[in-house]
Structures are given as C-alpha cells and as structure tokens.
Structure 1
Amino acid sequence: MTAVTPPSVTEVAALDAMFAQMDAATSGHVNAVSGLSDREKVLLRLTADVCAQTLGLPFELHLRDGLQLGVTTADVRALLRLISYDSGYHTALAALDRLAELETALGLPNPNVGELPGEFLTSGPDAPPSPLPESARAILAQLDPYFLDYFDLQSRMRTPSGPDTLTIRERAFATMSIDIHYQTLDDTFRVHIQRALGGGASVDDVRDVLRFNAQFGATRIWQAWKAFHVHAAEAGWALD
C-alpha cells in the first residue's frame, strides 16, 4: 500500500496559528456527530470542495485524510461522476483534473474505469426508463419537456450499482449537501432527503448531515435548517 502522509494541523498553523485553532475546534465539533460514518464525512468534505472549487490545500487535505481512512481514489471518482449532475460538469471536471494531479504526486494508481453501456447514454422517447421518481418527473414536465429529458438522461447515467459506486445513502447525503451549498432548498432538497430516508437513514442521520455541513458556511446551514423544518412538518417526519 502506498504510504500517504496524513493531514496535519501544523500545515494550517504555518499559514495562521489563530486560524488553525479555530479550524481545529470547528472540526472537532462537527466531527462529533454520531450519525455519519468516517467515510461519509470524507465524501461530504470533498463534495463541499467541488461546490466551492476549493481544489488546492483543502481538497488535498481532505483527500489525504480519506486515503488514511480507506476511501480510495476510485471512490472519489465515483463521487465526482455522481455530483456532476447537480454541481455542474465544469466543477466536477476541475476536481477530476486536480485528483489526477494528486494521484501522480502521491504515487497512487490511476483507477481503470469502465464505460457505461450505450443504452444509458441515449435520450428521447425511445430511451430506456429513467429511475427519476415520478413525482419529480411530473414537476419537471410542467417546467419544460426538454429539460425533463435532460434529467432523465442524467438519472439514467447514474443507474449502475456495485463496485466503484456509492450507496444510496451516500448518494443522498452528497446531493443533500449540494442543495445546501447552492441553496436549492425547495423541491430538490426534499427529494434528496426522502431518498436518504428511503436508503436507510434516520431523520436524525439527516439532521447530522446539516450539522456536519455547518463548517462549510453557517449562514447557508441556517437557511437549510429552516427549509428542513418546513419539509419535516409537511411530510410528517418524526423529530426527536
């Protein structure tokens, strides 16, 4: 196994000692949430980096931390392919370019990624069924049929499961986080929370996603909490 130097607070302290204290205290507080696994926390940190395009030191530290915890670059590539749907292909491409650079710098193998079956890449009336929920498709159809076709295509390309893919719970937490970062807290936020609950997460696990994401912008989380409570009341999610 390739040796990877773990992230160190001293790297941040060299930039600003007081900031390093603040950063460490904040990390300690959000890391204390018990409903998320270490792997899920790594994926959420990397998702935040893609959304904010913080692909320098933060992305490197989060990647190295993940490698220490057993998250592979194949896992990270699966994350980037997933979130390109919502973060935008341009942001995911920038992160993929940075990941390849770090794989070379850290002496990590470049994963051999297979290709999607051709039917997943098709669109239009003759394309295979989309896994997009019918409730979401109904909303999109009212907005614009061509945009619905785009969404169907994106959902279809994320159908494969198995090796080098993410669990439903991991996918839902990542897409929930994108909603928080971009403040898309209406329909999509609710759909993604429902997906997390359907993937085995509890309501408190979902709340831990919000708690953990506070480190990436407290005011955005403030708005996310307000939206969450509105959705919870309308959907009847039981809160502790």
Structure 2
Amino acid sequence: MTTTATPTDLDRLAALDPAFARMAGATARYVRSIPELTDREKTFLCVTADVCQGSLGLAFRAHVRAGLAAGVSTADVRELLRFVSYDCGYHAATAGIERIAELETELGLAHPDPGSSTPEPAGPDAAPSPLPDAVRARLDELDAHFTGYFDLQSRMRADHGPGTLSERERGLVSLSVDVHYQTLADTFRIHVGRALRGGAAPEDVRAALRFTAQFGVTRAWHAWEALNAILAES
C-alpha cells in the first residue's frame, strides 16, 4: 500500500512556479530566523499583512497553518482581525473573517464560541474610553466626530485579558499596519510608543520592521527612515 503525503503550501506554490517558490521559501526562512519576535507575533504580522494587502489566498492559508503549527489558534487569529479592523478598515477585516471561517471548515477545526466578552460599546452604560488624553487632544484638533469614532473603537478594544492580544503585540501589529499603508507620521509614532510601553525593546521594534520587509521592501525602506528618527528621539 502506498501513501501520499499532503502537499505543503510551498509545494502548491512550486506547482505554479518552481523558481518563484524557491524565492519565497528562501525569503521566509531568512525572516523567520529573526530571534526577537515570538512565533505568535510573526503569525500576527503575517496575517495583518495579508488583510492589509488583500492577500487571502495561498499566502493567508500558509500563514494560518504555520501559526497553527506554532500553537496559534484560529480564535487567536480572529481576535487579531477584530483588533486590526479599525486600522485596516472593517471591509478588509470582514474578508479576513470570512476566509478564516472557510479555513476552519477546510482544515476540520471547530468554529469558536460565538459568545463575546466585548462590553457594550455605546450608550449610557458604555465603559469609559481608554483613549489617551494626548491622542484625544490631537484628534479634537481634526474633528470632534472623528474623536468620538476613536472613543468607540478604543472601548471595543479595551480588554487585555486571557485570549486577547498583549499591549506589546498590539503595538507591533499596529505599527506594521502603518508600514503597509505608509502612514508614517503621527499614527506610526503613537504605535511605536505603544509597543515600547508594552515592554518591547527598541531592538524588538526594529525586528518587527525587519520581518515586515518581506511584504514590500520599498515600504519598509521608508518606514526605516521614520523609525530611526523616532527611536533617536527617545
């Protein structure tokens, strides 16, 4: 009796273009060797890139499967998608939620409990917004309704308990969104500061940018210029 091994995602890519698969494999091995980031953080950075850039096919599948092998559940990925939705846009995050549900079915994984611990985000019983005063003041200079939108988003993402992203993870993921969209001024500075407050060392923040280079080297180039200036100030 013969057995057939299940093809890896790199095998699937090689069937499409062997030379490109070798390039992708060498790149993935190079950035995966970055020691300052956990496997969980690497998975989050990959999935965030996929959602920001609308890459929900073979690459998204490979990133989710790599995360599963490293102990990152699809519930963790769903929590990430909820978190990044206000930066990448709910429309983009919706596509990610749809795709992760498809993958759970495809891979025979249980769909997570539909219950949610998210507090009521609006109305008289809503929790106070954790939006920092300095950020609120900057937003008020732009538009009061926009400040209210940030308050709403902040309330819905205030939970840092078990099953959620740590402050360090939130900072690293958020600054990576800035790299993808090249928003390298106020928001990038805020997100770098968030990662540092969450316990990331400057070298950890640099590691996140090194890892993100695989998703667009020219975007990373510009981000390096902004990051080096921010870290020099601090």
TM-score surpassing 0.5? yes
Moved over 2 A (4+): 5-9, 113-119, 126-129
Partner of 2:141: 142
Per-residue deviation at 1:134? 1.3
Q: In the alignment, residue 134 of structure 1 is paired with which amino acid?
A: D
Alignment of 1:9-88 (within 5 A): 9-88=10-89
CA distance in 2 between counterparts of 1:144 and 1:123 reads: 21
| TM-score normalised by length of structure 2 | 0.93
| Aligned residues: CA RMSD | 1.6
Gap runs ≥5 in structure 1: none
Task: Count how many residue pairs are aligned between Structure 1 and Structure 2.
Answer: 229
Partner of 1:200: 199
Q: Give the SS at the match of 1:14.
A: helix
CA distance in 1 between counterparts of 2:56 and 2:9 reads: 17
* 7-16 or 28-37, larger mean C-alpha shift: 7-16
Matched, 1:164 2:147: no
Partner of 2:3: none
User: Compared with structure 1, are the counterparts of its residues 59 and 216 closer, same or farther at alpha carbon in structure 2 (3 Å cutoff)?
Assistant: same
CA distance in 2 between counterparts of 1:172 and 1:114 reads: 26
Partner of 1:174: 173
| TM-score normalised by length of structure 1 | 0.91
Q: In the alignment, residue 232 of structure 2 is paired with which amino acid?
A: A
User: Compared with structure 1, are the counterparts of its residues 6 and 200 closer, same or farther at alpha carbon in structure 2 (3 Å cutoff)?
Assistant: farther
Deviations for 1:33-85, whole angstroms, at most 9, x for unmatched residues? 11101111011101100001111111111111111111001100100000001
Q: In the alignment, residue 187 of structure 1 is paired with which amino acid?
A: D
Asked if 1 retains the 8 angstrom alpha-carbon contact of 2:118 and 2:156, the reply is no
